[in-house]
Amino acid sequence: MNITNETATNSDKKISILFRNTIPEIPSTTFGAFAIYKYPAKFIPQVIAYVLREYAQPGMTIFDPFGGYGTVGIVSRVYGYDYELWDLNPLIKTIHDTAIISKIEMNAWQLLEDMKKSQLEFLPTWSNLAYWFPAEFMPVLAKTWGFVNSLPQESKAMFLIPLIKTTRYFSCSDEKIHKLYKSKQSKKKIEQLLQTDWQAKFYTMLKKQMETLMKKIGEHNQLNPKSVRCSIKPGVDVLETNLDHEVNIMITSPPYLQAQEYIRSTKLELFWLGYDEDYIRELSKKEIPYRKVKEFEIHSEKYHQCRAGIIEEHLKELYDRYFYSILTVFSNLSQNVKDYMFIFVGPAQIRTTPIPIDDIIVEHLQTLGWYHEVTFIDTIVGRSMFQSKINPASGFADSRMKTEHLIVMKRQG
Ligand SMILES: C[S@@+](CC[C@H](N)C(=O)[O-])C[C@H]1O[C@@H](n2cnc3c(N)ncnc32)[C@H](O)[C@@H]1O
């Protein structure tokens, strides 16, 4: 444990910590399967490892309702705990299936050759497909995806993420921007590609991506992940779903108050993975904090104090939607959490008003019979956030979060 200082603020305890330095067996934040795909605002594995090492007991089940990349599951596996992951974004399934590959497919290079000769075809049912991909690329994309979709699960897992990344590169979207966006540079990239032997480049890139993935999987297996029970639920809206069984520990990180939309930024990937337009549109409408949500009684003085300082109606609405959503979710789910809840949030601000999200959650959960043990304050170093200069929530320049807070709540009695 690497506690650097300890101060008591308000009625609660806050402890500074550098999670990334607490777990010697996970040497970096991007080690092994923890960095096979860029998912915005994902946990660093050390946060979860720290929680499991300090608080979990053998036989416990770990749960993350906002699973995202699935870090909670991947770390649980390393320490031998059963786990359950939910997320609105179905990408969680693809990332998880890939991250838990235990054996590297030995005939991957042969399959790559077979792919080039394959007659199978798949194209997404996406009305904007022709806007994002030049017609010249379509036959190769169709053939590659048709072949990969026909593979059995274990082989398919080796291909999907490398192919998703390659497909994104061969699209007109700017890869540096999370949201789908055609920029001058990305249009130029495609024009230049078309003048080269782009087909050879496509297969070379796919192969390179597969090599990188294999290296990461090999590295990950040094952590000796265990064979445990797990349940992955993609496409779950936490506001419409409740736990129908008990879990021991919930570790989660809800969407940020200033989050950009996850579904919209990953829709190109979702279309190629076979999800259809209506389904993706429905998922987009359910994203927190941009969705409509029922009013919810919030038991936190700080919530009401901060709210009083927000003047503009649309910001007040965003603020309310955010807290109604996450506190409805935590209040409902907490009924089936037996031991601990760990909630990881970043402090945020609306205009110039700082919003102490962690304190608000703590105050509310305390009224439901949860004991606040401690809040750890971690400093963000080079974490992959949405790279947007303008905060979509406020329309103002983003003030980047500098610290993130892990709230530790223990069931009382
Ligand atoms: C901060 S991210 C979680 C990242 C995760 N801790 C990780 O390690 O990748 C928040 C997640 O909430 C999900 N989300 C947003 N609205 C949701 C909803 N209504 N139901 C379920 N998940 C939702 C997003 O898709 C996103 O993956």
Q: Which domain holds residue 146?
A: 108-221
Query: For position 9, what pLDDT does the model report?
Result: 53
Q: Considering only CA atoms, which of 11, 29, 13, 10 is closest in space to residue 379? A: 29
Ligand 1, residue 262: give the atom nearest the CA: 25
Ligand 1, residue 92: give the atom nearest the CA: 27
Residues 256 and 383 sit within 8 Å (Cβ to Cβ):
no
Mean pLDDT of the chain: 91
Q: Is 17 in the pocket of ligand 1 (CB under 6 A)?
A: no
Distance 181 CA to ligand 1 centre (A): 22
Read off the CATH number of the domain in which 355 is found: 3.40.50.150
pLDDT for 1-27, tens place per residue?
434 444 445 455 899 999 999 999 999
Region 234-239: mean pLDDT is 98
Residues 254 and 341 sit within 8 Å (Cβ to Cβ):
no
Same structural domain, 261 and 306: yes
Same structural domain, 163 and 292: no
Query: For position 108, what pLDDT does the model report?
Result: 85
Same structural domain, 180 and 133: yes
Which of 98-102, 234-238, 311-315, 376-380 has the weakest average pLDDT?
376-380
Task: In whole angstroms, give the CA distance from residue 253 to residue 261.
Answer: 15
pLDDT for 197-229, tens place per residue?
999 999 999 999 999 999 999 999 999 999 999
pLDDT band at 413 (very low <50, low <70, confident <90, very high): confident
Distance 300 CA to ligand 1 centre (A): 24
Q: Which of 168, 203, 221 is the last residue of a domain?
A: 221
Same structural domain, 377 and 275: yes
Same structural domain, 175 and 114: yes
Q: Is 262 in the pocket of ligand 1 (CB under 6 A)?
A: yes
Q: Is 81 in the pocket of ligand 1 (CB under 6 A)?
A: no
pLDDT for 376-392, tens place per residue?
999 876 544 444 444 45
Region 260-285: mean pLDDT is 95
Residue 137 has pLDDT above 70, yes or no: yes
**CB atoms < 10 A from the CB of 128, how many?**
13
Structural domains in the chain (count): 2
Same structural domain, 77 and 134: no
Whole-prediction pTM: 0.92
Ligand 1, residue 72: give the atom nearest the CA: 8
